[in-house]
Amino acid sequence: MKNEKSKVQSGKLPLKAVAIAALVLLALSTAVVSVDAHMPGARAPPEFELKPIVINDGGTEVEITIDDVANYHASQVNKEPQICVCLVCAFRATKLGISEIWGEEIPSRDDIRIISRLPTLGSRDCFRYVTGTGPEIETRTKGEYKIVLSDGTEVTNMTNKNQKKLSKGNSLDNFRFEICRKSTGECFEVVLKEGVFPDGFFELRKKVKFDPKNATSEEGALFKSEWEDTRDKFLTLPDWKLFEGIEEPEEEELDVVGGAIFFSILVIGLGLLLGLSLRGKAR
Amino acid sequence: MNELEEKFGQIYFAVLGAVGLAFGAAELIASAGEGFTWGILDSSGAADPTFLPWRAIILLSAGFFYLSSVKDFAEIHQLAKAVLGSIMIWIVAGMAIWSRIASSIPGEETWFNSLEGFLASYAPPYCPEMFLLPFSLVIVYYILKEKEAER
């Protein structure tokens, strides 16, 4: 009997070991992911309506949606597709820059030059996808994309590792993007407004993402919540609330009085017409 | 139709024809470009850009009909030209009014518009045909006069 019991126990032991190992692996994987631009366990984004970026790629009109960019970003960082803060910010900045410079025109991909101050994986993949300069992008033409840091240094090493390393000291000052029309030399600088990121966001990010051992679970939860709120702002707020130099569109006041006068004239006129025709019939 | 009425009709429809021609020419020029909105007058064709050149041609034709009817206005064939000019204006203005009525009822995101939204959809600016509509109704007086004379 003893032997049988010990056999059963020894049979349970590997199960326990597997369970413990799985838990350890899960915890480790979570720790590894947290260093990435992706936010594990982030709540689903709210309902949003972001129109695609439309460009001309060697005679073919191409519509680039935020999902296209997110999928490309996922393929470059080997993660599940997720719309992260930097990615959606870069997408909005590109859309704004294009509309400011090209207006209603559709830009040619090879006429677009983007100079970004932001070294992050999400923005890198968005700008690469739009300009067609990244790997594994089917494109006939290519625009230009480069990262120039605030101190004027051009980043030539675009690897994930280097981008992560450079992103450690990111601040609001990095959220500047120059969208240029190469053929005319026109440029528009998209600058993020203060207040889009909450106070202390970048310090908290640095601590939680790059020094997780010293970050408390409360700080981790706060960062996650602030990250989600900021992403939602980029997905839902209008340009003038996000970027500098964009004027709030004036709300058209409804001309109720003018409309009421015309409507009254119309009703009286129709009434008279009806009265006259009935009178004519009665005769 | 007495002499005074004929004289009045001649002057009135000459002016109306000239105004119709001017509006038609303006709309024709506007249809070549992006149109224009001047105060409460709208020739932007924002609602119906493809119809703008047709509107211009109809207005020009109405203007020509009015002007060609002026000489010997009391004569039935001449009066018929003025009637034709008016009918052309009524059709285009009627379409513009109907389009306003139809668009004033549904809301942007709801089945029915609010009262404010409903009234505001009748607010200016208006297309030139809508301005000419009340003035073109004067022809009804001459039609009735002609009918009376027949009796």
pLDDT digits (tens, 9 = 90+) for A93-121: 999 999 999 998 999 999 999 999 999 99
Contacts of A256 in chain B (CB under 8 A): 116, 119-120, 123
Give the confidence band of A14 by pLDDT, cuts at 50, 70, 90: low
Torsion of CA A56, A62, A139, A122, to 10 degrees: 110
User: Complex ipTM, two decimals?
Assistant: 0.84
Contacts of B124 in chain A (CB under 8 A): 255, 258, 262
Give the confidence band of B109 by pLDDT, cuts at 50, 70, 90: confident
Contacts of B123 in chain A (CB under 8 A): 254-256, 258-259, 262
Whether A256 sits inside 8 A of B116 (CB atoms) is: yes
- Identity of the residue in B97, B121, B134 whose CB atom sits nearest the CB atom of A259: B121
Say how far apart CA A178 and CA A182 lie, in whole Å.
12
Q: What percent of chain A has pLDDT over 90?
A: 69
Q: What pLDDT sits at residue A22?
A: 63
Whether B119 sits inside 8 A of A263 (CB atoms) is: yes
pLDDT digits (tens, 9 = 90+) for B25-34: 998 988 887 7
Strand partners, A56: A61, A108
Q: Considering Cα of A281, then B1, then B2, then B6, what sign does the dihedral take?
A: positive
Nearest chain B residue to A254 by CA distance is: B120
Contacts of B126 in chain A (CB under 8 A): 262
CB B66 within 8 A of CB B17: yes
CB A58 within 8 A of CB A141: yes
**Residue span of the structural domain in which B49 resides:** 3-150
Place of tokens 């019991």: A5
Q: Which residues contact A274 (CB under 8 A, 6 or more apart)?
A: none
Q: What pLDDT sits at residue A33?
A: 38
A263, A264, A277, A283: best mutation site toward chain B, by most B Cβ within 10 Å? A263
Q: What pLDDT sits at residue B47?
A: 63
Say how far apart CA A141 and CA B94 lie, in whole Å.
52
pLDDT digits (tens, 9 = 90+) for B37-85: 888 888 877 666 778 889 999 999 999 999 999 999 999 999 999 999 9
- Identity of the residue in A254, A258, A263 whose CB atom sits nearest the CB atom of B116: A254
Give the confidence band of A2 by pLDDT, cuts at 50, 70, 90: very low
Contacts of A266 in chain B (CB under 8 A): 97, 122
Residue A232 has pLDDT above 70, yes or no: yes
Stated length of chain B: 151
Say how far apart CA B20 and CA A37 lie, in whole Å.
66
Both tokens of B86, joined, read: 């008016």
In total, how many domains does chain B have?
A: 1
CB atoms near residue A109 (< 10 Å): 21
